[in-house]
Homo-oligomer: A and B are copies of this chain.
Amino acid sequence: MHKGNGDSLVRAQALAAQEAARLLRNASTDEKNAALLAMATALDEHKGVILEANAKDVAGAEAKGISGALIDRLTLNEARLKSAANGLREVVALPDPVGETIAMTRRPNGLEVGRVRVPLGVIGIIYEARPNVTVDAAGLCLKSGNAVILRGGSEAIHSNVAIVHVMTKALEGSGLPKTAIQIIESTDRVATLELMQQSDLIDVLIPRGGRGLIRTIRENATVPIIETGEGNCHIYVDYNAPLDMARDIVINAKCQRPGVCNAVETLLVHKDLAPRFLPVVGPELLERGVLLKGCDESRKILSGLEVATEEDWETEYLDLALAIRIVDNLEVALTHIETYSTGHSEAILTNDYTNAKIFQEKVDAAAVYVNASTRFTDGQQFGLGAEIGISTQKLHARGPMGLNELTSTKFVIAGNGQIRA
């Protein structure tokens, strides 16, 4: 037995999840879809009790003096809850990954060796204060045949417990094990630590949250994890980028939704284009309330820029702020990105064929763009359907993770008596 595997409530939940996973992995697509629809209906029907629980959480957070953005993420209303329920209905429409044969070969000795998608088993999701994640994560895990143990932020505990209660009643009614979706009700940090250590029962942990959360989990988990989210994203505007296109993309990548991981944080501009480009894009950004910080060269071209320091190059602002650096050439841009990138989304805007190719080959990130906004790094936008998160690690899954990324494979081998020589 490993450390932390004691007789705790979390351990009991993990054991129940493993048992549920055993049943779930052989559930048919019809059974899973029926359960998802029942869960969606139940969320619609029981919105009163959920919104009531949510009001309690919001009041608690306000009493603790928590800030506006977090309160906004925490708050549910009829429209948001409806949207979460409809998210489950969209998952119904996605193809079931389980059972898909992704490869099949006949070997020289006649053995047929196939490779089939199977669920991972038990997935732990550790997330912060957005109760809609509770619904999304439960839906995606169920559709992919996985049991899930949810550990949401303590600020959202009443909302999350209410949502899970409603969903699991629906699950039970549809004939699937209600322990396929469980939530850790204790807000004690020890419970999170226990969750991370059930390596004999939980197949993967997906943390969704800030750098601190992810580091804590990386350092304490014995369960394998998939790191998500951190995005210090760059756009490099090359010497011959069309000015209008570059302006529209930079504004979109910074302003359309600044608080998310695929928003741009640093703008790199080729020195030959900067004198024409910065005067085009700068005023528009300032007009939209973006705080601009720049290198010495960019401050000569554009007024209204604060001084960008080393810290700015390292920072994922997640806000209306942008660091600007003028670079001599593509090589310098590539070195800057190699140094500061978190490996999320990186873009070049150019009309130079060779530079476009070099950028796509050399940049080591989950998503590498030519002439498009970094804001597209998203499961829906890439055509994977709903996503459970965006992996910034290379193992197992990289970039937006859809249903396929919640599966493993097994080899299935059909013979007629083959033995090894």
Shortest Cβ gap from A124 to chain B (Å): 12
Listed residue (A199, A366, A415) with the most chain B CB atoms within 10 angstroms of its CB: A415
Residue in contact with A364 in the complex, picked from B118, B242, B360, B399, CB distance below 8 Å: B118
A398 to B395, CA, bound (A): 13
Q: Which of A44-52, A77-85, A161-169, A372-380 contacts B (4 or more CB under 8 A)?
A: A372-380
A381 to B113, CA, bound (A): 9
- How many chain copies? 2
Listed residue (A360, A371, A399, A411) with the most chain B CB atoms within 10 angstroms of its CB: A411
Are B393's CB and A224's CB within 8 A?
yes
Hey, which bits of chain A sit against chain B, CB under 8 A? Answer: 2-3, 22, 25-26, 105, 107, 111, 113, 118, 120-121, 199, 203-204, 215, 218-219, 222, 224-226, 242, 245, 248-249, 251-253, 256, 338, 360-362, 364-373, 375-377, 381-383, 393-396, 398-400, 408-420
The chain B residue with its CB closest to the CB of A378 is B420
Residue in contact with A410 in the complex, picked from B215, B248, B368, B375, CB distance below 8 Å: B368
Main secondary structure of the interface of A (DSSP, over half): mixed
Are A383's CB and B107's CB within 8 A?
yes
Are A410's CB and B26's CB within 8 A?
no
Q: A121-B394, A219-B222, A368-B412 are in contact. List 17 more A-B contacts (CB 8 A).
A: A111-B381, A120-B395, A203-B393, A203-B395, A204-B394, A224-B224, A226-B395, A252-B419, A256-B420, A365-B410, A366-B411, A370-B415, A371-B418, A373-B418, A375-B420, A377-B411, A398-B411
The chain B residue with its CB closest to the CB of A114 is B360
Are B395's CB and A204's CB within 8 A?
yes
Are A111's CB and B372's CB within 8 A?
yes
Are B252's CB and A420's CB within 8 A?
yes
The chain B residue with its CB closest to the CB of A396 is B396
Are A218's CB and B203's CB within 8 A?
no
Known: A2-B219, A396-B396. A368 touches B416 (CB 8 A): no
Residue in contact with A26 in the complex, picked from B2, B105, B362, B393, CB distance below 8 Å: B362
The chain B residue with its CB closest to the CB of A383 is B105
